[in-house]
Structure 1
Amino acid sequence: MANNNNNSKSSFITAPGFCPDCGSILPLLGERGGVKCYTCKREWDAAVFGDMEMTYTLHFNTKHTYASIEKNEDSNKNVADGPTVERECPQCNNNKMSYATLQLRSADEGQTVFFTCTKCKYVSVYSNYY
C-alpha cells in the first residue's frame, strides 16, 4: 500500500503508477517529487510508483537516410516521395508530382498541400484561404 501526503491508507492495492485510492493511471512524477491524481485529486508521494523505471531508446538515422537521390540521366523513371498526382510542375513542366499535406492553421480551415516534382524536386505550396 502507498500512503499519500496525509499519511492515510489507500482504499485498495493497485499496480505501481496507478492511484491506490481510485485506480486511475497517475501522471508522471513531477520535479517536486509528488503526483496528484487527475480523477480523485489525492496527492501521493514518489513511493506510489514503487520501483518502476523508465528507459528510452533513441534510434539515430544513418548518414544515408537523408542523402539526396542520385539522378540517373539514362532512366526515364521518376522517384516519388509520396502519393502522386497529374499536376504540371511550374519549373520543368513535368506532369507528375507527389504531395504531402499538413494542418498549419486552425482545425476548421483546409490543409496546406506541398507538391514535389518527381523529376526536378521543385516544391510548390497550395493553401486554400477562404
Structure 2
Amino acid sequence: MEFCPTCGVMLLYELPDRGRSARFYCPTCPYVCSLESRVKIKRRQHLVKKEIEPVFSQNDLTKGPQTDVTCPKCGYGKAAYETMQTRSADEPETIFYACLEKSCGHIWRD
C-alpha cells in the first residue's frame, strides 16, 4: 500500500497504456508516481495466531472473595470469584470462579 505524500490518501494503481509506464496516482490531488520496473501485487497475507494468555491464574482467583457455588467439574460447594468487564459497558460483568477444592482447582466463568 502506498500513500500520497501530498494529501495522505491511498494511491491507486494504473496499468501501463499506449507507451506510458504503469503508475500510482492519487484520486484526490494531481500527484502521480511513474513506475519504471514491474510491480508485484500481493493479495494474500498469512496471519499468525497469538498465544492466548489466561485472564486469571489459579493463585490470583483463590485469594479473592469466596461464595457458595457448586463446581461443575467436581461438585465442591465453595469457590473464589473475581469479576471483570470483558464486553462493552452496557453488558453485564463476567464472573470468573475458581474451585477451592485442593485437588480440583477448576476455573470457569459465568
The answer, yes or no, to whether TM exceeds 0.5 is no
Tell me the TM-score normalized by structure 2.
Answer: 0.41
Tell me the TM-score normalized by structure 1.
Answer: 0.35
Larger radius of gyration: 2
Q: Which has the higher strand share?
A: 2
